[in-house]
Amino acid sequence: MLSIIKLRLLRLRDDYMVFLVMTAMAMVFTAVFGFSFNSYRPSVIIVDKDKTPYSEEFVNELKLSNIFKFTDSDIDSASLQVEEGDALVALIINEGFHNSIENGNKIIIGQIKIKDDTYIFTLQETVRSIIAKMAGSERIAEAAADFISFQKPTADREEAKASAYKAVKESWKYKNPLKITSTVANTNIQSGYDGLKHSMIGFTIFFSTYTMVFSIGTILSDKRYKTWERMLISPVSMSSILGGTMAVSCLVGFIQMAVLIFGGRYLFGMDWGDSMAGIITVSTAFVFTVTAMGLMMSGIVKTQAQLGAVAPVVLTSSAMLGGCMWPLEIVNNKALLFLAELTPHKWAIQGMESIAARGMGFEAAIMPTMVLLIMGIIFFVIGVKTVKQ
Domain boundaries defined on the chain: 2-37+195-388, 41-174
CATH of domain 41-174: 3.40.190.10
Looking at per-residue confidence, does 134 or 329 come out higher? 134
| DSSP 8-state secondary structure symbol assigned to residue 210 | H
pTM of the predicted model over 0.85: no
Nearest to 30 by CA among 256, 205, 209: 205
pLDDT at site 158: 78
The pLDDT assigned to 385 comes to: 84
How high is the pLDDT of residue 190?
43
List, in order, residues 6 or more apart from 370 with CB less than 8 Å away: none
CB-side neighbour CA atoms (13 Å) of 14: 8
218 pLDDT higher than 90:
no
Q: pLDDT band for 366, please (50, 70, 90 cuts).
A: very high
Query: What is the phi-psi region of residue 226: left when phi exceeds 0, alpha when psi lies from -120 to 50, beta otherwise?
Result: left
For residues 58-77, give the mean pLDDT.
87
CA distances from 235 to 67, 218, 238, 263, 275 (A): 66, 20, 10, 42, 44
Residues making up the chain, counted from first to last: 389
Average pLDDT over the chain, rounded to an integer: 79
Residue 229: which residues within 8 A CB-CB, separation 6 or more? 223
| b/e code 343-354 from CB counts within 10 Å (16+ = b) | bbbbbbbbbbbb
pLDDT at position 189 over 50: no
- What is the SS3 assignment for 146? helix
* Most confidently predicted of 39-43, 285-289, 293-297, 356-360: 285-289
Report residue 378's pLDDT band, with 50, 70 and 90 as the boundaries. Answer: very high
Residue 380's SS3 state is helix
The contacts of residue 224 (CB under 8 Å, 6+ apart) are: 303, 304
* Whether residue 322 has pLDDT greater than 50: yes
